[in-house]
Structure 1
Amino acid sequence: MKALLSACILAVSTLVAGCGTMIRSDVTTFHEWPDTLPDKSYVFERTKEQNDSLEYRNYENLVRNELNRLGFTEAPASTKPALKAAIHYSINGRDVREVYPAVVNPYPYAHPYWYGPAWRGYYGPFYDPLWYGPPIVEQRVAQYQLFNRQLRISLARMTDSKKLFETTVVSEGTNGTLATIMPYMVRSAFAEFPGKSGVPRRIELKMEQ
């Protein structure tokens, strides 16, 4: 019975540890990406608030790195680019109350010689299935905050503002620091670029320690 209880605790601990190291994002992309695009130059289209935000500039650098990796080039100020990129993001938190079952040891201080007839103490629990009795399942309550993190990125033609690529990344978790999660959301946004249009995907990335 002790072995069973230990195995349950180990399994739960492993699950919790594993969940804490993965960033899961639901990505939905819509695009009308041309088969060929000779000019892949771009600029960022910023709102006034974004232009004055150091936080936004940090996230813009993440998107810039991904675009450069995919063969796009940021156009110099003196030239007219073919595309314009726009970035929008948000984070919202809500309180969560979760009730879950937990296996507990009903006899945490039991000793072989304190329980049952003397022959049980002699042979020990490995020979008696009723040595400690069955485990007890208790209902426990966990309260925490769950954060909904969203990122939207679009690429549009400069000439007529027609959107060619639009992706939305939604990630939920207990980490409310958007700056920590954003690198993984940006990478998820451009995974398999341009991807299948209108097909939701789940992207999982291991969080670096």
Structure 2
Amino acid sequence: MARPKRQEARRTQLMEAARRAVVERGLAELRLGDVARQAGLSPGSVLYYFPTLPDLLQEVQREAIGRFCTAREQAVRDEPDPRRRLLAMIRSGLPEGPGDELAYLLYELGAFARKDPAYAARYIDLYHRQVAIYVGILEAGAAAGVFRLAGDALGIARNLVILEDGYGLHMTMAVPTFHPTDAERQIIAYAAIATGCDLT
């Protein structure tokens, strides 16, 4: 009975090591040996638990996406006011800055999504989950008479997620082009126009 638990603990250890290695080295420079050194193991030991480095990184991606989506859902779950829910959702989708490890991890692993359908599928699912949260907020706000939507809720929700992604990418580059406060202000400005509601 103990063996499966030990194996699960080792897999978790390797995923944590891979997260640290991606953040420290970046995906382009990452090698299996980097993860092994982070974990204090040999490369062969890593391959015992994950057949290839991309297999390991798929698990890292899955965990990071789950953590990100859960945080966004929790940020708006208990807020009854549509205006404050919308603001909380916007803030939960932006990196805190260049050092935001979770955001950096998601952007780095996104490079695989351009060539690997499995990675792409998880990012598509991430996109749809975020859009669905926004649609719920927008439709509830419109039904309550708080928002006067300038278009359909789905289109506005898609724009909000894409704006977050674009600003977030610029915020996590080696030389950031946007400060978190500026990015947040710009997205809120669009949301105010799209909802016909003063969000300042």
Fold match by TM threshold 0.5 = no
Q: TM-score, normalised by structure 2?
A: 0.21
Q: Give the strand-richer structure, 1 or 2.
A: 1
Q: Which has the larger radius of gyration?
A: 1
